[in-house]
Amino acid sequence: MRPELLVRKAIPRSRPASGGRIQSTTGALLLALAVTLGCAKVPIVGGKPALDLKVTATADCNSCGKPNGYPIYIRFLQVTDPSAMTGVSLAQLWDREDKVLGAALVAKSEQVVDPGTSKEIKIEKDPKAKSVIIVGNFCKSEGNCWYMIKPPKGGLKLTADASCLRETKK
């Protein structure tokens, strides 16, 4: 290697006076972009379609025949076809939704509602869903009122009582 090349490498190059500002500005812009992209799931205007529900649990909700109520676990199963529910019991479905509903199940979420309270629930709607099966895990239920099948649209009001889910009049 030639000696003059070694000398050049050893001498640090000077930067223009504004170089620090350019780097700071670029860094700030990159940070702002990263924050914006990191929050991309939270749209500024509009957003993904959602199912807006209000569930009210009566004081004797899920009471199992006893004088006081217990919290009710409610699952929201978004499906392309609800026909697999025909003849299915709560015991057959609960914790086996994937097997019972198969490929028709496109989304599943769960909420807990305490007795004597109301809860506003917002569930992101899957675009493939044609129906929502709302399932209450009652310790004692009457007939098939432990579940209901509804179109996947918001504005639904439900009441969970001692043994059933019921749609509440608006």
Q: What is the CATH number of the domain that holds 147?
A: 2.60.40.4150
Domain presence at residue 4: no
Range of the structural domain that residue 27 is part of: 15-47
In this model, does residue 3 exceed pLDDT 60?
Answer: no
- Predicted local confidence at residue 35, as pLDDT: 42
Is 142 found in the same domain as 58?
Answer: yes
Domain presence at residue 8: no
In this model, does residue 93 exceed pLDDT 60?
Answer: yes
Phi, psi for 83 (deg, rounded to 5): -65, -20
Domain presence at residue 6: no
Region of residue 87 (left: phi > 0; alpha: psi -120 to 50; beta: else): left
In this model, does residue 170 exceed pLDDT 90?
Answer: no
What is the C-alpha to C-alpha distance for residues 14 and 20, in angstroms, rounded to an integer?
Answer: 12
Percent of the chain clearing pLDDT 90 (strictly above): 64
Is 80 found in the same domain as 103?
Answer: yes
In this model, does residue 126 exceed pLDDT 80?
Answer: yes
Is 25 found in the same domain as 94?
Answer: no
Residue type, position 94, single letter: W
Is 125 found in the same domain as 140?
Answer: yes
Q: Which residue has the higher pLDDT, 120 or 154?
A: 120
Is 127 found in the same domain as 81?
Answer: yes
Which contiguous run of DSSP H or E holds residue 32? Answer: helix 19-38
Domain presence at residue 156: yes
> What's the mean pLDDT in 109-117?
97
> How many structural domains is the chain composed of?
2
In this model, does residue 42 exceed pLDDT 50?
Answer: no
Query: Among 76-80, 98-102, 153-157, which is the least confidently predicted range?
Result: 153-157
Is 141 found in the same domain as 160?
Answer: yes
Q: Which residues of 102-136 are buried (b: 16+ CB within 10 A; e: fewer)?
A: eebbbbbeeeebebeeeeebebebbeebebbbbbb
> What's the mean pLDDT in 140-154?
91
Q: Which residue has the higher pLDDT, 21 or 132?
A: 132
Cross-strand bridge partners of residue 57: 160
Is 93 found in the same domain as 57?
Answer: yes
Is 35 found in the same domain as 94?
Answer: no
Sign of CA dihedral 90, 94, 100, 104: positive
Task: Label residue 4 by pLDDT band (50, 70, 90).
Answer: low
Is 115 found in the same domain as 156?
Answer: yes
